[in-house]
Amino acid sequence: MAREFTSVGVVGLGTMGAGIVEVFARSGIDVVAVEVSEAALERGRATLTGSTDRAVAKGKLAPADRDALLGRVRFAAGLDALHTVDLVIEAVPEHLDLKQRIFAELDRVCKPDAILATNTSSLSVTEISVATSRPNQVIGIHFFNPAPVMKLVEVVRTVVTSPDVVADVEALCARLGKVDVTINDRAGFIANALLFGYLNHAVAMFESNYASREDIDAAMKLGCGLPMGPLALMDLIGVDTAYEILDTMYRRGGRDRRHAPVPLIKQMVTAGLLGRKTGRGFYTYERPGSPVVVPDEATPVADAAALADGARGITKVGVVGSGTMATGIIEVFAKAGYEVVSVTRGAEKSASVCEAVKTSLNKGVVRGKVSEDDRDAALGRITWSATLEHLADVDLVVEAVVEELSVKKALFASLDEICKPGVILATTTSSLPVIEVAMATQRPADVIGLHFFNPAPIMPLVEVVRTIRTSPETVATARAVCAALGKTAVVCADRSGFIVNALLFPYLNDAVKMLEASYSTADDIDNAMKLGCGYPMGPFELLDVVGLDVALAIQRELYLELREPGFAPAPLLEHLVTAGYLGRKTGRGFRDHTHR
């Protein structure tokens, strides 16, 4: 039988600590909330009452329940107030020496059978535990912010944590209505080990002027369905906190350069640009503590006229290709009012693409997304062809053929001969260098990447990829076209993976390495990222959907270009692909899909 916890202590009443107090008090457990001073206690009390008052205002908590909740909390200055509690959770700043001092004091104050827990997100629970005479009763209980809302708790056992203590804490998590994943004491645990490599990589992109902060954030929200972009998330976490976590993970985690803090992070910490809490980080906020972003000197101009400045007029568009991507792009342009010339290899292909576009538009009519008149008008704008010569009078060509460089280069050389001067030639490649395609023509200034996401009619994002030869006029035209299509354009340089894949696939690769090391299970890792970080899918769910062969090919491209050891494809990923376990399309990937 798991032990019954009747009273719990929480040390440190910042955002995290106050949230943990609320979680316990909501579940009917008495809480002793401790801070170093009366002033700090008052701040903690204000955080708790503010949170519960908001819950009442939103109808999530009845006034009587709020009063009962607050009645279960006793505020006290100093650790001596914790002498009778069954469990203490420490939630002070991420400094090892501070935590060790607190645990040594808790060891003296608390009753012999009390469990001592740390909410650390990156420090060694083992190093904290040895400050006590009861390391077998020390455990990590890592809540996620905001604690009352987030369902995940990482339960971190050291090599000496008693199995009974682990079982008792797991049962407590269930009582609190949380989902726990139990893991060993390793730098970053699951969620932060996967999250912070990705955040650090995003900052490196921004630092090198590869893309703007707005475009990096928009790309990950719209391209991956993430609740926040990486730079806005850094501001929320606190740039100083992020630095401490990355630095600790780098030192404790085998000195993987993916976790070595990008120099800009340290500079921002030194300059006091810590994110929301100081009112300025990667973005500027209305005031310290406010979530409201206000324009600053780096904010791009949102004026449509300014966006179109220097853009060429586009009325007729050619789309080359017959796959899913080409079909979706044809539909997107036709619905937006452009004349479209669809070119495929032969009449049979043209007929199947025509049928696919009609089917998709008819579905739109059935769902009430498109009127019958609009459908008919869109179809009336499309000309079906099997010869490239029909592109002689278009203003823009979008290529969506197979992802083979030789095929694309040959096609662009042909387009260069056929198309009139001033026509923009765009490739939808998701992984090949756009400059290689551009140099197959005599007009590299007019060549650009337009990476649509699948399915193109639904996904709102387009990555606009400029090479070192692309003219500003071509970029302006591409952005204006995306705006006319109702898409969000993000502009980046011509580097492997562009923004989304360059940030997404190393994170997926890190998850495979974590599984390969037997640190955790695929289910627990997926749960950690969905429940701890708000991701719509866990990494292994996503890999099975994308295809393990596709993921491996992209990861190899990234590794070949950047030569970063941390980007080397995980051997487990290579083995599964070799074995033909490619995900849902073959019925088996990280999971078996044949019986679902």
Active-site annotation, residues: 121, 142, 154, 192
Beta strands 284-285; 87-90: pairing state = unpaired
Residue linked to tokens 């406010």:
290
Alpha-carbon gap, residue 285 to 279, rounded angstroms: 5
Q: Which two tokens stand for residue 250?
A: 């780098």
Nearest C-alpha neighbor of 502 from the set 214, 224, 232: 224
Query: CA angle at residue 523 from 519 to 527, to 5 degrees?
Result: 100
CB 29 within 8 A of CB 6: yes
Q: Which two tokens stand for residue 23?
A: 């979680």
Alpha-carbon gap, residue 325 to 413, rounded angstroms: 22
CB 131 within 8 A of CB 96: no
CB 150 within 8 A of CB 19: no
Residue type at position 133: S
Kindly give, in sequence order, each residue whose CB lies less than 8 Å from that of residue 399, ignoring residues fewer than 6 positions away.
320, 321, 408, 411, 412, 415, 425, 426, 427, 428
DSSP 8-state code for residue 389: G
Query: CA angle at residue 450 from 446 to 453, to 5 degrees?
Result: 175
Helices 372-380 and 347-366, interaxial angle, to 10°?
A: 160
Beta strands 424-427; 396-399: pairing state = parallel
Alpha-carbon gap, residue 438 to 580, rounded angstroms: 35
252: how many CB neighbours lie within 10 A of its CB?
A: 17
Beta strands 115-118; 87-90: pairing state = parallel
Helices (H), 391-499: 405-418, 434-438, 472-484
Alpha-carbon gap, residue 520 to 190, rounded angstroms: 8
Nearest C-alpha neighbor of 200 from the set 248, 254, 243, 237: 243
Residue type at position 68: A
Tell me which H or E stretch contains 486.
none
Task: Please state, in angstroms and as integers, the Cα–Cα distance from residue 470 to each residue in 197, 399, 425, 467, 491, following that order.
Answer: 31, 17, 11, 5, 12
Query: CA angle at residue 234 from 47 to 118, to 5 degrees?
Result: 55
Residue type at position 531: L
Alpha-carbon gap, residue 95 to 40, rounded angstroms: 18
98: how many CB neighbours lie within 10 A of its CB?
A: 13
Alpha-carbon gap, residue 135 to 391, rounded angstroms: 74
